[in-house]
A = this chain, B = another copy of it.
Amino acid sequence: MKLPAHVDEQTFANRLERFRIETPSWGYGDTGTRFGKFLQDAAATTIEEKLADAAEVHRYTGCCPAVAVHVLWDFAPGIDLRSVGQSAEELGLCIGSINPNVFQDQCYKYGSVANRDPAIRRRAVRHILDSVEMGRQVGSTLLSLWFADGTNYPGQASIRQRKRWFQDALRQVHDALPNDMTMLVEYKPFEPAFYHTDIADWGMAYVFAKQAGPRAKVLVDTGHHLPGCNIEHIVAFLIDEGMLGGFHFNDRKYADDDLTMGSIDPYQLFRIFHEIVGAEVERGHDLDIAYMVDQSHNLKPKIEAMIQTVMSAQEHLAKALLVDHGALARAQEREDLVLAERILKDAYETDVRLLLAEWRQRRNLPADPLLAFRESGYAERVAKNRRARKPASTDRYA
């Protein structure tokens, strides 16, 4: 399949080639909702299984070498961290972002770094600093910070006091970063049952990151916005400010749904990539952005869902790479809204699936990673092996 005349084939292929997506270890395990978990036989339990599954995703897609790890869920106390990094390496993987967990333990009931109790604030900061050190040991250069801090009811706490505790904690963490580590500050407007979350929007993450230091950037989770929010605008703004550190990709219909990227609003995903590609074309080099998946598939098979996600990401990046920037600029110059919009849509409407299939084959990858994985029988094999270790169904009225 031929590319449009305005697209240079090598530039297109090279940019796709350089596009790496980090998958999360927790995306390979069973995840649940407030009612419990719907279990899958093939879901991974240990860090070894998660890495093995991630390696499958990388085997079939060729672009997912890095795996994000969750300190609490992945690193049992006493674990030999260097061996984790080594296990990853043997599978052709590396450890991506390191994710501390300061939201699950009972002590964090009223918050972590913004907890009123100084002992708990210290404990939370210490855990993050420990995570930085663990990250160093496993070869990670990315610290990804998400907090479930906030309050459930008006009056519960002083919003301004909590803000200052956050500023203190993030400065401490930044001070302790190795020189080659970037710290990403994630924001989220709401958690179930919350009245306020301490880092509610990109503006708060931006202010906190600015105040923490130069290696702190903003992390955009595509599902963490209020209804109607123009996410690509935020992306463009942060890029221009040099403050966009990375993405947690997922999609949503209503709230924080953690659905597969592009499954609900694919055109929005394209517009996000268009802002990135537009800035890269302008600057003549790639932006330094960490592309990470953060989804929760309680019904879809984990590895398949991840491969589907990666394919969707590549497709929408590819579409963004097809935009005719010259023609777009000329239409914009004339305030020709109809044509400018159509030039964008021309790229979006292009069916890139065959293009990508051919590009994959040139890289000795399966044309269709999803079907190739299905045919491999991996899922059935691990399901058989892992099933035995799962808890029996708790169904009662069967």
Decide yes or no whether A226 CB sits under 8 A from chain B.
yes
Given known pairs A152-B299, A267-B266, A353-B349, the reply for A237 and B204 (CB within 8 Å) is yes
Q: CB of A201 within 8 A of chain B?
A: yes
Question: For residue A163, which residues in chain B have a CB less than 8 angstroms away from its CB?
Answer: 236-237, 240
Known A36-B104, A192-B256, A260-B153: A159·B229 in contact at CB below 8 Å? no
A213 within 8 A of B: no
Q: Does A395 contact B (CB under 8 A)?
A: yes
Instruction: Please determine whether A275 and B159 come into contact, CB atoms closer than 8 angstroms.
Output: yes
CB of B298 within 8 A of CB of A193, answer yes
Contacts of A233 in B (CB 8 A): 159, 196, 200
Whether A83 is near chain B, meaning CB under 8 Å from some CB there, is no
Provide the A247-278 mask, 1 if CB < 8 A to any CB of B, else 0: 00000011111111001111110010011001
B156, B193, B229, B296: the one contacting A33 at CB < 8 Å is B193
Residues from chain B with a CB closer than 8 A to the CB of A335 are: 110, 116
How long is the Cα–Cα vector from A36 to B105 in the complex, in angstroms?
Answer: 9
* Chain B residues, CB < 8 A from A263: 153-154, 195, 341
Name the residue on B nearest A198 (C-beta): B233
Given contacts A38-B109, A116-B335, A349-B353, contact A154 B344 (CB under 8 A): yes
Partner of A332, one of B156, B304, B315, B348: B156
Q: Name the B residues within 8 Å of A304 (CB-CB).
A: 338
When the two chains form the complex, which single residue of B227, B259, B278, B279 contacts A153, counting CB atoms closer than 8 Å? B259
Query: Which among B255, B267, B274 is the interface contact of A255 at CB below 8 angstroms?
Result: B255
In the complex the two chains form, is B189's CB within 8 Å of A159's CB?
no
22 contacts between A and B (CB under 8 A): A31-B34, A32-B34, A39-B106, A72-B396, A77-B396, A105-B398, A154-B267, A154-B274, A155-B340, A192-B192, A192-B255, A192-B258, A193-B259, A203-B203, A203-B206, A206-B207, A207-B237, A226-B254, A227-B227, A228-B255, A308-B342, A342-B370
